[in-house]
Structure 1
């Protein structure tokens, strides 16, 4: 039995250095490809409310052909904000599937943010009208910022962005990030903003419908991020009935995504689009929804990217981990 093994620890500062958008998009695309080929497994999601007021979850999976095994433990603790910390917390752990020995621990917050935004970008490139010019973003937090940043990279035609904050008040930190990339408007009326938009991004805590269904016009695409737990929703009743729906994982979307509210609605998986199992042809009047609950395989392919790059560059901290 070996006693000279090490465990690589990669903190948030190193992760931030290593997460290049194009590389993350490629890793997330690979995750969808693996899922579509049924080459990677997604294990049942754990997502539970805690008596301390937080939500704790585990997303795990493996890719047997690539010796990739691991999980992300993550959740949401809103009281962290009163302590000066981030409400979302995530940690990724990778294992040697032959022995069960842990090989790498990675701060998962940035991974979660960027891989989710990368998935959103793939959704836009495959599902949205490429000539879209007006977007509305619900939310002004970390994920809303990341989604919009990747959307502006993916759809250069976007010139006007409405954003809807929780209190309908302007957010200087949000506007400062994008002021030189598009025209920004803080929307005081969500329905008016939606009715003008080609693209809707919902990146909130999922506490209820964000707009009236009748405000949604034909031809709009929606990237929906906030519904990731039983009981959460962002879309009003009726939208899923009108839309063509794509999910990252059907079973998971029916359990914790927007699809939990209409589980029998016809939908297809993003992996099947990526692999060509299913073909997508958008009509000009189609309303489309990408219900994004987040795949464990996304976390694993991005984490592997971080592990390899940190090892090559001598970053992170290797600690003795005898087994």
Structure 2
């Protein structure tokens, strides 16, 4: 393509929503983990900085040289958005031509981030949770918590009950309605309470999807055989799991250096752990009493493989704004 014929595809929120299919996301995320495990892709150093007004800004980037896949996600957390009725999490993803450095696709990354993170969590459940798990305890009722619950229920048909912990201990009828047709859903209470500990103690799986900076439940509440997907710790100083729990568990991460910097593993950086992608060819032998943890900080490769899928589908179906971008 000549320089003056170059084009840039813009995928806004509605275009992404029209293209984003769970099965396609699961396949893209699985590919990202496989590439990472094979060391066929690179995860570049993370940018994660606090801004005025309690906002957080970050950049996750990487590439797959053999596939000519290069890009980044600029994303973060702007809590003041909620006052205007907007989403606090914001993300924009860009793919670039690695031969020229020119952008080829810009996509709204909010729904992509939710879907790819939930798909990664579901993969963690399939590889690490007990296959006979029946009850899940979910901390959070926001976009991430809903996404993880939906993907978990698809990944593990054995799940029959969802107990959720809301930030204020009050019922969230919309959260309950989303899953009521699939399983029994009920409020457990609020975090940092005896009710939260009771819900954790009864759960086979615990999913923590909050912006918390303190333990959400007691370490003693976690019984043998439990699996935990820890989602919310993605910045230095954040945590959701109680002290001492990591040391009792077998721990996996999506990317170990990143998890030791900003994930739950920042609180036990010397603790032996492994990467989830290494289990794709050989899932671990799981003793009935093992406590397992998937420390999820999210890696750029998940964003890039997912948006590449959206880009290809958008071109095939003439979706989005394909504009001239000459140089």
| TM-score normalized with structure 1 length | 0.98
SS of the equivalent of 2:229 reads: strand
User: 1:230 — aligned with what?
Assistant: 236
Mapped to 2, the partners of 1:223 and 1:30 lie a distance apart of 20
Structure 1 position 53, deviation (Å): 2.5
Structure 1 position 4, deviation (Å): 2.1
Mapped to 1, the partners of 2:115 and 2:208 lie a distance apart of 16
Matched, 1:14 2:15: yes
Matched, 1:142 2:143: yes
Greater CA drift, 20-29 or 250-259: 20-29
User: 1:206 — aligned with what?
Assistant: 212
Which of 281, 287, 301 does residue 283 from structure 1 map onto? 287
Structure 1 position 314, deviation (Å): 0.3
Structure 1 position 84, deviation (Å): 1.6
Structure 1 position 275, deviation (Å): 4.3
Unpaired stretches in structure 2, ≥5 consecutive residues: 190-194
Mapped to 1, the partners of 2:237 and 2:54 lie a distance apart of 15
Deviation readout 1:96-150 (Å, 9 max, x if unpaired): 0000010000000010000000000100111000100111000000000000000
Mapped to 2, the partners of 1:82 and 1:271 lie a distance apart of 39
Structure 2 matches for 1:1-323, cutoff 5 A? 2-188=3-189, 189-276=195-282, 279-323=283-327
Deviation readout 1:216-267 (Å, 9 max, x if unpaired): 0000000010000000000000110100001000000000000000011111
SS of the equivalent of 2:319 reads: coil
Contact 1:37 1:275 in 2 (8 A): no
Mapped to 2, the partners of 1:35 and 1:307 lie a distance apart of 21
Task: Report the number of matched residues.
Answer: 321
SS of the equivalent of 1:111 reads: helix
| TM-score normalized with structure 2 length | 0.97
Contact 1:33 1:275 in 2 (8 A): no
Contact 1:162 1:185 in 2 (8 A): yes
Unpaired stretches in structure 1, ≥5 consecutive residues: none
Mapped to 2, the partners of 1:200 and 1:2 lie a distance apart of 51
Mapped to 2, the partners of 1:268 and 1:302 lie a distance apart of 24
SS of the equivalent of 1:140 reads: coil
* Displacement over 6 Å in runs of 4+: none
SS of the equivalent of 1:167 reads: coil
Query: Alpha carbon RMSD of aligned pairs, Å?
Result: 0.9
Mapped to 2, the partners of 1:40 and 1:275 lie a distance apart of 18
SS of the equivalent of 2:111 reads: helix
Structure 1 position 16, deviation (Å): 1.1
